[in-house]
Structure 1
Amino acid sequence: QLLRADLRAADLSEAQLSDADLRGADLRGAQLRRTVMWRARFEMCPMSRSQIVESDVRAACFDHADLRFSAIEHCHLGNARFVDAQLDGVSLHGSVEDATDYRGASMSAVSRTDPKRAKAERFEPPRRGPSS
């Protein structure tokens, strides 16, 4: 249990946070890359400028959390809750948002998947090798 923990700028990459209770924890500037967060509770968490990338966030709860200017990219957000959360300036690039609940969330300047960036991310340079 990490209830109200001070995790500012913490690197929680590849952590297993399924069913974790982080309500009220300070996660400003935290790194959560390839982190499993199934059903984790982040209610009332200050999480501005955090990096949540390539993570499994299904059914996690971020109600009333402050995620302003965070990157939530290439994540699975199915059934996640962001009720009354502050999501201003958040990037959701490449994230799957099936059944994600944003009721009452502040979402000004939220960016979703940019087709040009997505194409560039899939680019593979031509292979050069000995000719046959």
Structure 2
Amino acid sequence: MPFYCIIWYKIAGYRSQLFINLKGKASKGLEIGIGTSPNLKYHISGNAVFVFGVNPNTKMEKYAWAAALAAGLLKEKFKFVQVVGESLPLDDASADAVVATLVLCSVTDVDMALKGI
């Protein structure tokens, strides 16, 4: 098993606990650096109205879509947009929750990304 797989496996329990208070409470979510969407299964529930996933790498889109559908999101409730975290294409107060894990280390301007959030 590759090293990164071991890390993800080891933190799965922690990740589940981290998102337990979010699950079912946010109807509109934004995930920055959604990548392959490993977080969706932890914080999405049937009442989610919409999840907006952003990532600068378009090759992640097919994985994000697969994870969104596996998490129970309907096609019309998920949108993937190729963009960097410093340039979020959302209006103010348009999301109830923002998820950003293992991503800010790759953001060029962390302050700008956090201001956007």
When normalised by structure 2's length, the TM-score is: 0.31
Higher CA-based Rg: 1
Highest RCO, 1 vs 2 (Cα 8 Å, sep ≥ 6): 2
Task: Please state which structure has a larger fraction of its residues in strand.
Answer: 2
* Normalised TM-score (structure 1): 0.29
Relative to its length, the structure with more helix (as a share) is 2
